Structure formats: C-alpha cells, structure tokens
Structure 1
Amino acid sequence: MNPFVERSDLVKAAKAEEHVDLNSTNVTHTILWWNQPIWVVPFETKCSNCITSTNRSVFDKSSAVVFSLADGNIGTKPPIENIIRNQNQIWIAFSLETNVQNAWIRDYKNKHWKYVFNWTWNYRPSADIFMPYGRVSERLKPLSKNYSMIFQRKNKFAAWAVSHCNTHSLRDKFVKNMNRRLQNHSIDIFGKCGPLKISKGKLPTLLSNDYKFYLAFENAFCDDYVTEKIFAHFNTDIINVVRGKANYTNIFPKGSFINTRDFKNTSDFVSYLVDVSENETLYSNYLKQKDKFQASFDIKEQYKQSICNICRKLNDPNLKRNTIFDAEEELGQCIKPNDV
C-alpha cells in the first residue's frame, strides 16, 4: 500500500496499536538523542517500554542513539570508534531536511561518518523510520458541498505564502515567469518574500474563501521531498499547485492537484491554470476528488509515531542491524530545475 495514502480503517488500527504494550518483559530501551533538535523538546519522551533521553552519560546503556544531521554538535567524528563500540547498539541518522538545506553542515558528510549508521530516519519512504511531513487518508464518506457556490465566490486567482527567498529550486524566478504570462490574473505573494502580510491562522480561511489556487512550491528539487505546504492546505476549498522532484501521484490522489511538471513549458502550464480557473466543471472536479480524502500534518503526531516505530523495531527478536555506507546518499539526490 502507498506509504502516504492510507485508508481510514488502517489509520485507526495503527493508532489503536500505539496503546498496546510492545514487549511484555521488564526491559526498558533508551533512545538517546545525541544532538536533539530544539523543536523536539516539548514532544513526548516515551512509547511503551522505550524512553528518549538527551543525557549523554547514558550513551553506553542506550539501545539506540539518534544523530540529527541537520543540527550542530554532531561532531566531526563519531563519539566512539566503530571497532570498540557496542555492536548491539543501533545508530540512527535523522534528518527532515535535504542535503541542500544541510549544505552549511559538513560534519556528517566526511569519511569518519561512513559505515557507522544502522538505520535512517527521514522523509523518504525507503527510510528505516519513515517520517513524512503529513499523511493522506481516504474518508469513509466523501464530503458533500455546493461546489458551484464555492467556484462563484472566489474572486482571486492564486496565492503563495513564502518567507524563504532565492531558494535552490528557483521558485521565485518561476513565479515571476508565471506572472509575466498572466494577463488578466495575478499571483498574490504573502510573507517575507512578498508585499502582502497575513497571520498564519487566518491564511486557510482567506485561501478557501477567495483564491482558486495555492502554490505549494518546494525550496529544493530532491528525491521524495514533500514538506507541509500541500498537506496544510489540502483540506481547504482550493486547488494546490505543486512543483518539486517528488512523484506526487504516489502521495496525493490523482486529479486532486496540478503539477507544473506535467506541462511542456511555463506558457502551457499557465494557460491550463487560466482554463481551469474559468471553467466551473473543471475546477469543481479537482475539489470533488480532493474531498474524498483528508490530510493531517501534525508534526508532533508524526514524531510520536516514529518513536513508537523505533521502539517496535528494538523489541523485534529478529531485529535487523544494517550498515549504512553514506548518510548523505540516503537523503537522495537533489537537482537544479530545468523549467526556468
């Protein structure tokens, strides 16, 4: 089954499983954060018979040690030489950022960190611990709305909320090219990279009421990299437009979004957006398909599930202890876009 798109009954079963003891023994597994990201601090510290810690003094007694690749203090070398380390201990390479975003950190990319990790924990479905920015599940009953009224009330073309300017994906340049080709329409830009300001809490309502499209453009073209942008606005009455390297049809229902890569050039893409914006049937079909599903993007919940997944693996009597050659390679390849 698609790792992103899950049926509602399976989601419920997975959540119920979180409350089941993973191991009936008295063993307690410690998962040590070697350099914990700041945003993790307020999250839960345990799952079943596993606890998380940031106290490096328990290093030798820990069942797993997590190294955050995107944060400082990882060290230019591992804390202990591979030849004398506890071979039953699992070392995990964690990152929710791409190698592009991690460019300023060189430590984990040097030769000393090769062949030391056993598991990966990131946004890629191939990771040992898969932690996406969000998930999509099929609704037990599709939403029923007055789609004609939704179409008629929208009086603005497209919106883009962005505060990270001049990115690797050249999305700023792509949007400028779009605006040059739009005659009777325009793209409203909110945030530090645009002239318009709005609070984060008010944005979903504004998009749902006034705008026909939302530009969910990634800051880098990297394998499987899909951040919260499209998940955050999936449940609103708006069509998401995506731009990135990921295979979006493996993540979101076909016909529920528009992908810039499906067009030969920017002119064809912009022309199609205009056609959809002016055709009630075309526009409504996207919303109807989207309303058969629902998205969640609670990073706290995703983190909790990941810790529990680590715990399950640690309790597995057939635990697999891999050897990762290069943590940088495991995050996938990033490319420069060729559409600008």
Structure 2
Amino acid sequence: MTFSSLQALREAITSLPLPLSDADAEKAVWARQDSLTKPPRSLGMLEDSVAFLGRWQRKAKPTLERIDILLFAGSHGVTARGVSAFPSSVTGQMVANFEHGGAAINQLAALAGASLSIHSLDIDKPTGDFTEHAALDDDEFLDAVNAGYTAVKDDCDLLVLGEMGIGNTTPAAAICSALFGGAVEDWTGRGTGIDDQGLRRKIETVRAGLTRHLDKISDPLAIAAALGGRELAAILGAALAARHRRVPLLLDGFVVSAAIAPLHVLNPPILDHVLAGHVSAEAGHGRLLEKLNKSPLLSLGMRLGEGSGAATAIMILKAALACFHGMASFAEAGIQDKHDT
C-alpha cells in the first residue's frame, strides 16, 4: 500500500479494520504468568510487556526472534536559524558512521540481537525553513510517508524506529505545540546541547513557525508536513504500517514520539500496538508520553536519539520473556500455591 493523497492517508488512519490483536492470546499469557512461582503480578511491567507482545504477535508464547530497527535520516532547512549545536552537514556524517558501525545504535542493536537498517531520505536536500514556508509540500511529505510504510516487514516480532537529523528536535517541538497547545517553552529543549542563547532562538523559531502555519492547526497531517521533516514523515508511515501488519512497535525518544503524535490525534486507538521504550531527558518528552497515554519502560536520562533508548529497552523485554518461558509453575516446582491453602 502507498498513499497518493493526504485524504487517502487520512482514511487509512481513521478507518482501521477490526482489531488486529488477539485477546485470547493475551489471556493465555496471563494464565501462564499467574501460575508461575511468584506472587501474582509481582513482576509489574515485565508481565504487562509479555502480555502486550502476546496480544500483538497473536501468540500464547510470544518471542523476540526477529527484531527490526529502522533508522530514518533527513535534513532540516530550519537549522540555518541557529537552533542546533551542530551544523546540518553532521547528518550525512552520522549516516556514514551508522553504515560503518561506529554509532551507539550499532552497538545496542548488536547486543539486542536486532537487525539495523539505515534509510537516508534526500539528506542532500534540506526541508524548507518552516518559518517562511512549509517544510514539505504534500508530494514530498507523502513520498516520505510511503518510504516509511513500505520499509516495514510483516514477519518481524518487534519494530523499533530511530531517527537522525540535525535540528530535528525543533520541528518535533513545533509539531507538539501545534497539536497539543501549551507554552512553547514546555515543548522546546536543548536538543544536542545548545546554550541559553541558542535555546531562546529555538523557542522563537518554533513560535514563528506556529504563527506562519496557524491556518493548518486543525489538520494534524498538514501540520506534520508544514512543520516536520522527511524522517518524521517516514516514521509516521512506518508506525501506521506496523499497526496494519500487527507488528508491535517499541517507541524511542522525543522526535519519534512527536512524529507519530498526529496518528494519535486523528485516531487514538491506532497506537494500541505501541510501547514506550523510555522517557528521554529532552524537554517535553514526558509530557508527550502522557498525551499519548504511554508509560515508559526506562528513564535513564538519555537524549541521543537514533533509536538508542528503545534499543536499550529491548533488553528489558528479553528479560521479561526469559522469566515467562523459563520460570517453573507452582505445580512444576512442587510448591504449594497460596490459592491451594
């Protein structure tokens, strides 16, 4: 499936088929977990996570044999306004680093046993400066959405989405401000580590973008195109594809969360297949997860992006499955269950 218009994309988001998850598989997971040698529900979010995987994999015994990490990269014209500590040329340099295995995400993906693929989206062609005109026109936006949608395979057990794009916390903050309102300062953080003067420029840039595109505030997809970027649009497309293909999705940091936020605004249940891997140190991410009704598995003060927080959280999910598959039941261990007393 690809989308030839914003209307076709909107219909794919708002007119979901019947639930693609399996409540019976989830019940079977809980039945096993409640029989294991521990007080009921004493492993907390570990047990919740296994039930989530069972529901979306439609398996009474979920697995993590194939994990795909898709990392999308794009360039942003708004960086010319001094909103980042690094020049936009670093985007291409980091893509080369990913391809040569030298970044944090390469190490974390390898440790997690995940497949990592890099998707560079016209990084030599920055988006428009959204304070002057739309970052992407409709065709550019749809091309990026389609690139993300078609990159998702339906034979993976778990999907992680990552991003690279110098300056992309600025469009992420602008999208959140447009979709959810509130003070611009609450959504706008230091990104790669800008100083106080740079943060003031960033806040004013977001404000200018919101003013410039005030007429689009009521349309989440128009906002995503006007204020976003190619990698954010691709992430939106990939998240939608994962929902259509019943692939559970593990969410990364602020930029990835902002990229899928328009889906939530258009149709909140569309993100039922999503777990939040972590809450980042970037301003606004915790607030955004609350808007998306997601509780993070980890809070480690990370703010790197690349999918690194979600990749780290894969290890938590593997720990949860190790307990689920490896623990003995009360009957198997010959231990009296309190329910038998």
Q: Which category of TM-score, normalised to the shorter sequence, fits these structures?
A: under 0.3
Q: Which has the larger radius of gyration?
A: 1
Q: Where is the strand percentage greater, Structure 1 or Structure 2? A: 1
Q: Where is the helix percentage greater, Structure 1 or Structure 2? A: 2
Q: Scaled by the length of structure 2, what TM-score is found?
A: 0.26
Q: Scaled by the length of structure 1, what TM-score is found?
A: 0.26
